[in-house]
Chain A
Amino acid sequence: MMKLSKYVLYDILKNKIIIAYTLFLFIVSLSMFQMEDNSSKAMLSLLNIVLIVLPLVSLIFTTIHYYNSYEFIELMSSQPMSRTKIILSEYAGVSISLLSAFWVGVGLPVLLFAADDTGFALLFSGTCLSLVFTSIAFFASVLARDKARGIGLCLLLWFYFALIYDGIVLLILFTFSDYPLEKLTLLLTALNPIDLGRIFIMLKMDISALMGYTGALYKDFFGSSTGVLFTTGIMLIWITLPLWLAERRFKKKDL
């Protein structure tokens, strides 16, 4: 399995997309810290990158990679090797390359310019989101029959998690504003990894605002050690569940 992951990793590094992605992240992060006089504003821009660009790139890159290495996967399947191992090593290879791109591209500048609570929260969220969306992309690619459909499905998922979902939450909050919604909003945030990551960063960045109103409740919950465990746990579920579904599907799939 290790060997297979290594081959996947080499293959990814060879086509240079991931290096371009690393460079892009690195230059953007660096220039943000250089341009703004206070690092908090740069962190705000980085927050957008982590919450929007990172999931999108993870989804698209993984899907394209999956279809491009379809023949390789077919070849591997003809070898005496379990399909679980094949897909898991594919996942390991892709996620390691995406994670290292994120750590070098965003992690280094953050550690250099803003190595504080907010910075670490940002890195934690980014790491989780990379893994989560790689996993979701694997599920989507295994599900869809061809490349176009796979990418389409991924884009749709990205739209849903990044945009539509929050719109729906906002709608719910306004429609039922006469009811106590604190618990429900907690539940709703757990159903979207991007929201979860965002709140994790916000607890460090906008702590003063969050202490107002019902915000104190979110702070009490997410800020406590149970909250951190909760966030990590839900993120882990978001990583493992789609991967497990993908693996189950892949095992039975007629390649």
Chain B
Amino acid sequence: MRFLFFAFTIALITDTYARVIPVGTGKTFSSVKKAVEQAKDFDTIKVYNGTYKEGTIAITKQITVIGQDNPVLDGENKYEILVVSGKNITIKGLYFRSSGYSSMNDFASLKVVDCLNVTIENNSIFNAYFAIHISNSTGVTIRNNKITGSPKSEQLTGNGIHLWKSGNALIENNTVYGHRDGIYFEFVTSSLIRNNWCEKNIRYGLHFMFSNDDSYHNNTFRDNGAGVAVMYSKRVVMEKNHFEKNWGPSAYGVLLKDITDSRMIGNKFTKNTTGIHMEGSSRMDIEKNTFSANGWAIKVQASCDDNYFHHNNFTGNSFDVGTNGTMVLNKFENNYWDKYDGYDIDKDGTGDVPYHPVSMYSVITEQNPNALILLRSFTVQLLDKAEKAIPSLTPENLIDTKPKMKPNKL
């Protein structure tokens, strides 16, 4: 008898507290908005296939919204589609289309404000101003989303995944095409970003500022307007990312501005105009990266100090290192440079004469960009050779004291 009563109570609780509310034509509700109004905490709203044009839907309860067969939420180019605020909310499998644009507010397809533990998973977002906009939230997970924008100009397009003043976020396996910034962070700490793909965004693939203690792993940033820009942050780890084909006068694989105590390990820089551009950065550890076929592999401005470049491979770059001064406060060691033509008599795998990674012509083009047209001409090669013998223009102390004879195994 007691057992029966207990079982009955349990059944009652599950019935009241974890209902599944179906939404769709011929279902209990035909409007998502209505279903959200009726839902209680811990309920699941299952949205079935169809197109829903309901303006802005606000969610503040602890509910799960799951889309079945890609239901379309249409913003009719006017509204924000989903605004989420609260805790323990999950949004899954929805297709967001054409959210509104505003020059006053950051309109987003999916906006998350003041939240705790929100999961956003398997959604597609198409033609949005901002796609996913997170602010003042902790423990947000953004996973497996596909975001595609239709880029017009920097002013008319928002960011793909935008986080502001958040912490402990996990962003993985998302793809972002054609937004302003692919992934944008401001005041976001202790977060993990991995396996994302950002391509053809009109400004940066990844852009973060004032975001400390974050890690970036295995992401690919390709063909974005200006590559990747990271600024004013501390203790950032970037590992095994790919930076490819970021072409343009001010496009960089990575722009490091005022980044300190951070590490870049095992990244691949391929075919960028500039692989890494460093400004005012200190105490960076840059190791085991591969730089191939870039215009400039690394540009280190004289405002950088205490950076340590070691065990990197440099192959097929037009220029290995560029700099704008003669002051050298950084250390290069144990890198492999394909332009190194020294010898190794004691056969320990390390060249016996130091390598000067700054060629004279990279100094000249720094002063006079037009001179780039003479690159690889016989005259320039002669000048470079003469400079190597008697350095006068290039910084004398910028040397790799232990250049490798064979590429480092990474």
Contact = CB atoms under 8 A, between A and B. Distances in A.
B183 to A, nearest CB: 24
B376 A202 contact: yes
Interface residues of B, number: 34
Contacts of B338: 38, 41
Interface string B309-330: 0000001101100000000000
B316 A212 contact: no
A185 B370 contact: yes
Given A40-B293, A166-B377, A208 B371 contact: no
A189 B373 contact: yes
Given A170-B371, A173-B370, A202-B375, A208 B381 contact: no
Interface stretch (A47-55, A84-92, A235-243): A47-55
A148 to B, nearest CB: 25
B204 interface: no
A155 to B, nearest CB: 15
Contacts of B319: 209
Contacts of A51: 377-378
A198 interface: yes
B274 to A, nearest CB: 7
Contact of A216 (B248, B274, B315, B371): B248
B373 A208 contact: no
Contacts of B372: 209-210, 212-215, 218
A170 B360 CA distance: 14
Given A163-B379, A166-B379, A167-B379, A212 B295 contact: yes
**Residue in B370, B372, B375 with the greatest tally of chain A CB atoms within 10 Å:** B370
A173 B371 contact: yes
B316 A170 contact: no
B248 A206 contact: no
Interface stretch (A3-11, A26-34, A174-182, A244-252): A174-182
Interface in A159-203: 162-163, 166-167, 169-170, 173-174, 177, 181-182, 185, 189, 194-195, 198-199, 202
Contacts of B371: 170, 173-174
A254 to B, nearest CB: 38
B378 A208 contact: no
B156 interface: no
A28 B306 CA distance: 44
Query: How many residues of A sit at the interface, in one of the four size bands?
Result: 35 or more
Contact of B273 (A40, A167, A208): A208
Interface string B329-340: 000000000100
B26 interface: no
A199 B377 CA distance: 9
B379 A170 contact: yes
Contacts of A170: 371, 374, 379-380
A213 B373 CA distance: 11
Contact of A212 (B296, B381, B382): B296
A93 B373 CA distance: 35
A208 B315 contact: no
A211 interface: yes
A173 B379 CA distance: 14
Contact of B378 (A40, A52, A181, A205): A52
Nearest to A188: B373
Contacts of A181: 370
Given A38-B315, A185-B370, A211-B295, A163 B375 contact: no
A198 B376 contact: yes
B357 to A, nearest CB: 15
**Residue in A185, A189, A213 with the greatest tally of chain B CB atoms within 10 Å:** A213
A123 B375 CA distance: 19
A206 B271 contact: no
Nearest to B248: A211
Interface of A: 38, 40-41, 44, 47-48, 51-52, 162-163, 166-167, 169-170, 173-174, 177, 181-182, 185, 189, 194-195, 198-199, 202, 205-216, 218
Q: Which 8 A-B pairs have the closest CB atoms?
A: A209-B295, A213-B369, A209-B318, A166-B379, A208-B295, A211-B247, A40-B316, A212-B273
9 contacts: A162-B378, A170-B371, A170-B380, A173-B374, A209-B372, A209-B375, A212-B273, A213-B249, A218-B372
Given A208-B318, A212-B296, 19 more contacts: A40-B293, A47-B376, A163-B379, A166-B377, A166-B380, A170-B380, A174-B368, A185-B373, A208-B294, A209-B294, A209-B318, A211-B247, A211-B295, A212-B273, A212-B274, A212-B295, A215-B369, A215-B373, A218-B373
Interface of B: 247-249, 251, 271-274, 293-296, 315-316, 318-319, 338, 365, 367-382
